[in-house]
A and B are shown apart, each in its own frame.
Chain A
Amino acid sequence: MDSNSVLEVIGVSKEFGGIKALDDVTFALRAGEVHGLVGENGAGKSTLIKVLTGVYQPDGGELRQLGEPVAFGTPVQAQAAGISTIYQEVNLVPLLTIAGNVFLGREPRTRFGLIDRPRMNAMAADLLAGYGITGDVRRPLGSLGVGAQQMVALARAVSVDARVVIMDEPTSSLEPREVETLLAVIGRLKAQGIAVVYVSHRMDELYRICDRVTVLRDGKLVHTGDLAGLDRIELVSLMLGRDISDIRAHGATSFGEDSHAEKEPLLRAENLSSPHRLSEVSVTIRPGEVVGLAGLLGSGRSETARAIIGALPLSGGTVLLGGKPVRAGNIASAMRAGISMLAEDRKADGIIPNLSVRENIVLAALPRLSRFGVVSRSKQDKIVDTFVKRLRIKASSPDQKVAELSGGNQQKVLLARWLCMEPRILLLDEPTRGIDVGAKAEVQALIDELAADGLGVLLISSEMEELIDGADRVVVLREGAVVGELAGDQVTEGNVLAAIAAVGERNSDD
């Protein structure tokens, strides 16, 4: 075992309902290092963190602190052991004061057992000054911007005598200036011998501050070691499970012109703006075209799709379908005009879990299937049959509860829902996320089919190869704005990554 290690994970596994979220993961964290933890969505990062912080208990394997086996039954125990966490979403209490939040649960007290506010405020102000935060600590936390709140969360996390600080996507809602501050603070933590676990998908940051990196994929550990000798392409390939030569070869063989360039655009979204989310985003989709939206988390891809379907209030911009304007901010209008959207999170925004497959499919199309408000059984059954067959939805019967289906079949049910509407434009947000390989291939084939039928498709996917393979054109977003557009043989992984990272043209052999 690593004699320098302050925290070790040995052979840890965790299962949920038969699916291994973590499979025999082993890695060590050293004092004073910044250890990157990377992986795609579903790789097991969150689960690992929850095991480290006592939210989950591992099914197999063990944790060791300074060589001694430990077990954290609750978050409080992990905290007591010196493991602190800051999350992507600031998990503090906005209505309490800043000082109150820093010391929540451990407020300094007077002789009589009452909270010593003056001392607490002074201590908080002192502490936060060390993080470059000044001002009145008696203000409510929520009156600060997200970046400052994140700093307060960090100050709190460190002030509990932490020896390990875990940061889960800490910069996802920060302004660049705030990111700099955060990275500087991390540097100071290092100097104090505190170990930092840095979970992020932002390559720039990882390469700036991490000493070592651990890569997870599908619950398994695929790499752990120094970051210095690993170039970005290699790191990405480890994350995606793609052979480097694959990526490079792919980049080289994407020929073909933009065969749709001649046609009149079907959808024109122009200058879509929403404060802090979108900044003058424009996208056009031609009939039969698949337009990919690339970018990191928080770049505004989902927001763009939501804006087009009317689910996002806009401060500016228009959407035109077939030349005719679509009423902004009104989902029903957008749907009537012929736009349909498959949401990113099918559990939260897609399926109605306790309703049947049949009911989920016809949900949006109800008005077309009923007369005087009464639903026509026969029409309903016909449409459901058609789509179950066409999409090969595997369910014991159309009456089965949709919550019981596998992810892939749930996704197909949702696709059926939208296809019922006979859309002209289909917005797909992560259509193959969290579904098995077979269903994935089916969905991808379906997308091609729909495009061939003349539908315009907007494809959002975090899986680079899916985007590269499936899209005719790729629009790259960063921080809510369009930073590039690639078409035809320009559509390569390298170019997309480069556009996202805004580091100029890159060759695939770095």
Chain B
Amino acid sequence: MTSTDTGTRSSRARKSGWLQAYGVYLAVVVLLAFNLLFTANFLSGANFRTQLLQAAPVCIVALGMALVIGTEGVDLSVGAVMALSAALIPLYLGYGVFLSILMALAAGLVAGLFNGFLVAYIGIQPIVATLALLVGGRGLALVIAEGRLVEVRNPEFLALGNDDLFGIPVSVLVAAVLSVVVGLLVRRTTFGRRLVAIGGNRSASTLAGLPVKPVLLGVYALCGVFAAVAGVLATARLGASDPADTGMLMELSAITAVVVGGTPLTGGRVRVLGTVMGAVLMQLVHATLIKHDLPDSTAQMVQAAIIVVAVYAARERSSR
């Protein structure tokens, strides 16, 4: 077959590529401008704080999800993992805040390793592999919590969800730190470079001697841990462990943030800043709709439309 080298991409492809990569920033700016002009009280410090606080858990989960999607995978179980971590917290709070957080994170780690094992070593498709935890994980969490919502009163723990550190809410700080960490991970570490290569061309990576299976295992493990972190923060913010509701549909929000932020579902590229912006954008969309008295239903439908548009725009680029 004659080599069909892509010497120069057509300008249309270039334009849609730009849109996919940077469209999210544009959208954020537009929305911010819109809100500044048309939404009362948007410019207040309290409002910014609320927006960031609400965006933080999605951002954290999306960071983990972005890593998984970068390997051409997906993790549908993140919401269930959040519920699991929420369920575990009250059980260990008696032994101290630190231990309960540790156990919650451990649960996320185990869940992630479980998913990663199925994907990397058994070779099950990621959708299918993470489906099992999606189906059973929340149920498991509810069984652990005996179906109840448990109020959490530990002031130290609650501080995580509601207090500030250096003037910034803790969860926002955590999200910011994790964003930096993931950014560095992807760009500067062998693990990160390998994961991107694996998503870009699995067979080439195998032939290049990369440890594909361990990397995939690690990626899913990280995603699980990140989901657990979000679960801890959400519980702290809520002031209660609510496994029935915590993280419900989070997988959808996280995937949306990642895709809208410019990371292709086909893998090979992780846009960390884009993912953060994606989470911010989704939050802004939601807030804009709410503040203009548009109901939840509309917000959901708008979100659905955004996902479709973002994924549609993304897939156009990879036609070869």
Stretch at the interface among A110-118, A123-131, A399-407, A461-469: A399-407
Contacts of A18 in B (CB 8 A): 7
How far is B88's CA from A104's CA once the two chains are assembled, in angstroms? 55
Within 8 A of B (CB), among A3-43: 16-19, 21, 41-42
State which of A47, A363, A410 has its C-beta within 8 Å of the C-beta of B210: A363
Known contacts being A354-B269, A370-B189, A375-B189, is A19 close to B5, with CB within 8 Å? yes
Known contacts being A47-B1, A407-B3, is A355 close to B197, with CB within 8 Å? yes
Within 8 A of A (CB), among B163-199: 188-191, 193-194, 196-197
How far is B244's CA from A5's CA once the two chains are assembled, in angstroms? 73
| Closest beta carbon of chain B to A460's beta carbon, Å | 15
A/B pair count, beta carbons within 8 Å: 106
Contacts of B125 in A (CB 8 A): none
Stretch at the interface among B131-139, B145-153, B200-208, B246-254: B200-208
Interface flag for B209 (CB, 8 Å): yes
The size class of the interface chain B forms with chain A is 20 to 34
| Closest beta carbon of chain A to B199's beta carbon, Å | 9
Asked if residues B189 and A19 are in contact (CB atoms below 8 Å), the reply is no
The size class of the interface chain A forms with chain B is 35 or more
Residue of A at shortest CB range from B203?
A349
Asked if residues A367 and B208 are in contact (CB atoms below 8 Å), the reply is no
Residue of A at shortest CB range from B10?
A17
How does the 8 Å CB contact mask read for A417-433 relative to B, with 1 for contact and 0 for none? 10000000000000000
Known contacts being A353-B201, A364-B209, A375-B193, is A407 close to B5, with CB within 8 Å? yes
Contacts of B204 in A (CB 8 A): 343, 348-352
Residue of A at shortest CB range from B3?
A434
Contacts of A16 in B (CB 8 A): 2, 4
Asked if residues B206 and A311 are in contact (CB atoms below 8 Å), the reply is yes
How does the 8 Å CB contact mask read for A290-329 relative to B, with 1 for contact and 0 for none? 0000000000000000000101000000000000000000
| Closest beta carbon of chain A to B90's beta carbon, Å | 36
Interface flag for B6 (CB, 8 Å): yes
Interface flag for A219 (CB, 8 Å): yes
Contacts of A332 in B (CB 8 A): 209, 211
Residue of A at shortest CB range from B198?
A352
Q: List 12 A-B contacts (CB under 8 A).
A: A16-B2, A16-B4, A21-B2, A335-B209, A341-B207, A343-B204, A353-B201, A355-B268, A366-B190, A373-B189, A375-B193, A407-B3
Besides the contacts A17-B7, A349-B204, what 4 more A-B pairs have beta carbons closer than 8 Å?
A: A47-B1, A341-B207, A349-B203, A349-B207
Interface residues of B (CB under 8 A from A): 1-9, 188-191, 193-194, 196-197, 200-201, 203-211, 268-269
